[in-house]
Amino acid sequence: MNRKFLFFILLLFMIISGCSNNQSASANKKPQQNKSDSSQTNSSKGKKKSVFATIPDGFRVVTVGSGNPKTEINRGGPSTLVQFKDKFFLVDSGPNTTSTLLKIGLPAERITNMLFTHQHVDHNGDFWNFFIDGWQGPTGRRSLNLIGPQVQELYDTTVNFFKKDLEYRASLGWPKDGLLTNVNIKEFTEDKYSFELDGVKITSIPVPHTIPTYAYRFDADGQSVVVSGDLTYTDKFAPFAKDTDILVIDGMLTSDFSFVPEEARENLRGSLKISHATTEELAKIAADSGAKKVVLTHIGLGKEDMKSISKILSDAGFKGEVIAAEDGLVINP
C-alpha cells in the first residue's frame, strides 16, 4: 500500500513538473514571437519610399493637385511640381498643396522657386501655408523666387496681413531671409518672358483666360516640360509646346453634369466654354504640338470618360500618351 502510494505521488509530481516546464517554455517563446510579429508589422507598415529619395538625370513632373475650384476629398487645387535634377519649380499652389507635398516626401522648405500661372483662388489658395511653413524652423528655406502675374501684390498682401504673426515667428529665432528679405520677385506684365533659373531655361507666354494667365515651358539637357495653366483655345499654344516631352494642360474634363441642378447645367457648360478649352480644342492643341505625353489636369467634379477622351485626341491625330492627372502622380519623360 505504501509502495503504491509513493508511486502515485511520484507520478503526480512528474506530471506537474512536465506541465510547468511546458508552460515555462511557452512563456519563454512568447516574447520572441511578439518580437517577430512586431518586426513584420513595422516592415509592412513602413512608409513607402519617397520618389524624391532619388535624383533624376533630367526632368520629373508631379501633379501635386489635380482638381478644380470646388473642394473635393480626393483632389487638391491645381499645383504642378517640375523637378530638374535636384532643383524644384512649383507651378501654382492650390488648396492642400503643402500637405500633399509633405505626404509624398517633399517638405515645402526644399522648394525655393514658386511660379504662378494666374491668381485665382484654386491656384493660389495654399500660398500662405507654403510661404510661411516652408520658411519657419531651423531648416526652413532662406531664399525664395516668386514668379508670375500679380506676385508682388500677393507677397505684399501676405506680409502686411500677417505682419504681427510673422514678427512673432521671427522672434523665435528664425532668420528673416526667405520671408522678409532675400525674396526675389519677378512680376509678369509683358507678353513673353525668357530667363534661366537653376540651370533651366524658362519661357512664358500669356494664354487666354478670365484674368492675366501665363503658361510655362522648362527646357534643359534636350528635354522639356510645358505647364499650361487655365486657358481657352489659342493657335499660339501648340507652337509654344512643340515637341515637348510632357505637356501638363488644363483639362476640365467634366462630361457628366448630374451633380448640378438641371436648370443650371447649360449655364455651367456655357461658362466653362468661355474660360476653358473643350476636349476637341485640347485634342487639336495636343496633336499640333507633337507632345510625347499629355497630362490632363484641373479635372472637374463630374465623371471623366478617359476612353472617349483618348479617342477624341487620337482622332485629332495625337500619337502620344494621354494621362489623367491624380494628386501625387509622378510622370517621367
> Residue 213: which CATH number?
3.60.15.10
* Overall pTM > 0.85: no
* CA proximity to 286, closest of 307, 255, 309: 309
- Identify the bridge partners of residue 201 per DSSP, sorted by sequence position: 196, 219
Q: Which residues contact 227 (CB under 8 A, 6 or more apart)?
A: 80, 82, 91, 117, 215, 216, 218, 248, 249
127 in a structural domain: yes
Residue 192: Cβ within 10 Å count: 11
Gap between the Cα atoms of 90 and 100, Å rounded: 13
197 in a structural domain: yes
211 in a structural domain: yes
166 in a structural domain: yes
* CA proximity to 317, closest of 279, 275, 289: 289
CB of 61 within 8 A of CB of 246?
yes
29 in a structural domain: no
67 in a structural domain: yes
As a residue count, the chain comes to 333
- Identify the bridge partners of residue 248 per DSSP, sorted by sequence position: 227, 295
Please, what is the angle between helix 127-135 and helix 163-171, to 10°?
A: 20
Domain limits for position 125: 55-331
* CA proximity to 131, closest of 51, 50, 185, 188: 185
Which residue carries 492675366 as its cell? 212
User: What is the tally of helices (H) and strands (E) in the chain?
Assistant: 10, 14
Residue-level pLDDT, tens digit, the chain, 333 residues? 455 544 445 444 454 455 444 444 444 433 333 333 332 333 345 567 899 999 999 999 999 999 988 888 889 999 999 999 999 999 999 999 999 999 999 999 999 999 999 999 999 999 999 999 999 999 999 999 999 999 999 999 999 999 999 999 999 999 999 999 999 999 999 888 999 999 999 999 999 999 999 999 999 999 999 999 899 999 999 999 999 999 999 887 555 566 667 777 677 666 666 778 888 999 999 999 999 999 999 887 666 778 888 999 999 999 999 999 999 999 999
15 in a structural domain: no
Please give the tally of structural domains in the chain: 1
Which residue carries 472637374 as its cell? 300
- How is residue 188 written as a grid cell? 509678369
- How is residue 167 written as a grid cell? 514678427
149 in a structural domain: yes
What pLDDT sits at residue 33? 31
Q: Is 9 helix (H, G, I), strand (E, B) or coil?
A: helix
* CA proximity to 77, closest of 117, 50, 131: 117
